[in-house]
């Protein structure tokens, strides 16, 4: 149903310049970390895409660039056909209305001096939505996050609410402007398992009913699977795999994705205790290994992997992977 491309990310990169130590100055080095490295993907209207990877793989940096919260070093992001880096003030305001962020930690994301009511109304005021629409929009948002039965909480302050309730408020605040696009950065990682399910259900319903495009950032594939149709795996700033969530989880192509799938524990006593097909720790981002960045931890690595970087190529319909060891077009299995 959704074919129109909402977000088009081209060759997106972000490097952070680190402070130079005395040794760096003497040796003329300019240390930097390539947090996001030449990422390309498109997001269709109404599509939800999960971005998974270890901490430090650049997924949060990516999410923030998509919302124009940090400027990319190079590359472009087109949102609804317009390059977001060249928006003027009025267009930027319109963009802010259409693209919203859901924070990771609901305990920090709300102003403790504001009532819940004020926090939810705030985006409407900030983006100059006509005042007569406010009440209706807020009421709609509260229904979406299933807080319409908890209206008495509106005049409370954040410290009086539980984590699950706070995260609903954070979601309501992001949805109140009826955005076309949200970035949810680990939206449930701070919550108890029992309330996590409630938030995930809200996200799923919002996806189905609002036709919202979303980027859902998480390290846990089980969560991504629950809300996203498509999944991107990131490793050290680059996309290593991209495909429909179902395929990525059931038949991961990249050895790193395979390790991620394997690492998710299940609430079941009968589970595989075979060792992770992955060794060592995340390499130092200032000196990434040459060739494939995963080569020093990869059980399949060969000489070619250590010499050149595998490009992200299409191997099956809708599936891309950056690995030399994946055969061209895994014949007809798609």
Q: How far is the CB of 165 from other proteins (least distance, A)?
A: 8
Q: Are 156 and 209 in contact (CB under 8 A)?
A: no
Nearer to other proteins, 72 or 106 (CB): 106
Query: What is the token pair recorded at 281?
Result: 């720790």
Q: Please provide residue 319's backbone torsions phi and psi, each rounded to the nearest 5 degrees.
A: -125, 130
The dihedral sign for the CA sequence 72, 74, 75, 78: positive
What are the residues binding other proteins (CB under 8 A)?
54-56, 149-150, 162-164, 192-198, 200-201, 219-223, 225-226, 246, 249, 259-269, 271, 273, 275-276, 278, 281-282
Per the rule left: phi > 0, alpha: psi between -120 and 50, beta: everything else, 329 is left
Q: How far is the CB of 53 from other proteins (least distance, A)?
A: 8
Q: How far is the CB of 56 from other proteins (least distance, A)?
A: 7
Q: Are 127 and 97 in contact (CB under 8 A)?
A: yes
Residue reference for tokens 């038949």:
251
DSSP 181: E
Nearer to other proteins, 30 or 149 (CB): 149
Alpha-carbon distance 188 to 158, whole Å? 17
Q: Are 228 and 249 in contact (CB under 8 A)?
A: no
Nearer to other proteins, 28 or 265 (CB): 265
Q: How far is the CB of 184 from other proteins (least distance, A)?
A: 15
Alpha-carbon distance 117 to 169, whole Å? 9
Nearer to other proteins, 219 or 230 (CB): 219
Nearer to other proteins, 89 or 273 (CB): 273
Query: What is the token pair recorded at 205?
Result: 């319903």
Q: Is 330 exposed, middle or buried (0-12, 13-18, 19+ CB in 10 A)?
A: middle
Q: Are 284 and 34 in contact (CB under 8 A)?
A: no
Alpha-carbon distance 165 to 278, whole Å? 38
Alpha-carbon distance 140 to 129, whole Å? 15
Nearer to other proteins, 128 or 194 (CB): 194
Q: How far is the CB of 11 from other proteins (least distance, A)?
A: 27
Alpha-carbon distance 238 to 43, whole Å? 17
Nearer to other proteins, 193 or 331 (CB): 193
**Coil, strand or helix at 38:** strand
Q: How far is the CB of 55 from other proteins (least distance, A)?
A: 5
Closest of 154, 156, 146 to residue 113, by C-alpha: 156
Nearer to other proteins, 80 or 283 (CB): 283
Q: How far is the CB of 240 from other proteins (least distance, A)?
A: 14
Nearer to other proteins, 113 or 149 (CB): 149
């Amino acid at each position: 149903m959704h074919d129109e491309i909402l977000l088009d990310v081209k060759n997106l990169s972000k490097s952070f310049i680190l402070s130079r130590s005395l040794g760096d100055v003497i040796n003329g080095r300019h240390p930097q970390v390539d947090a996001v490295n030449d990422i390309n993907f498109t997001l269709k209207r109404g599509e939800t895409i999960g971005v998974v990877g270890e901490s430090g793989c650049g997924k949060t940096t990516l999410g923030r660039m998509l919302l124009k919260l940090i400027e990319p070093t190079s590359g472009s992001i087109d949102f609804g056909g317009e390059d977001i880096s060249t928006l003027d003030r009025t267009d930027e305001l319109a963009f802010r209305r259409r693209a919203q962020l859901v924070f990771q930690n609901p305990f920090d994301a709300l102003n403790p001096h504001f009532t819940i009511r004020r926090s939810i109304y705030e985006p409407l005021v900030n983006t100059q939505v006509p005042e007569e629409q406010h009440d209706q929009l807020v009421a709609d948002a509260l229904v979406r996050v299933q807080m319409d039965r908890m209206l008495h909480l509106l005049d409370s302050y954040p410290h009086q609410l539980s984590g699950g309730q706070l995260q609903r408020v954070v979601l309501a605040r992001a949805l109140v402007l009826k955005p076309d696009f949200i970035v949810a950065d680990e939206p449930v990682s701070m919550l108890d398992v029992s309330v996590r399910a409630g938030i995930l259900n809200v996200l799923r319903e919002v996806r189905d009913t609002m036709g919202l495009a979303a980027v859902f950032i998480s390290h846990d594939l089980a969560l991504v699977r629950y809300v996203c149709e498509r999944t991107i795996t990131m490793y050290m700033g680059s996309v290593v795999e991209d495909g429909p969530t179902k395929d990525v989880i059931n038949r991961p192509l990249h050895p790193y994705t395979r390790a991620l799938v394997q690492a998710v524990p299940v609430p079941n006593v009968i589970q595989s205790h075979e060792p992770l097909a992955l060794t060592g720790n995340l390499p130092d981002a200032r000196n990434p290994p040459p060739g494939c960045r995963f080569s020093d931890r990869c059980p399949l690595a060969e000489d070619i992997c250590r010499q050149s970087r595998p490009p992200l190529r299409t191997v099956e319909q809708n599936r891309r992977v950056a690995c030399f060891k994946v055969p061209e077009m895994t014949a007809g299995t798609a």
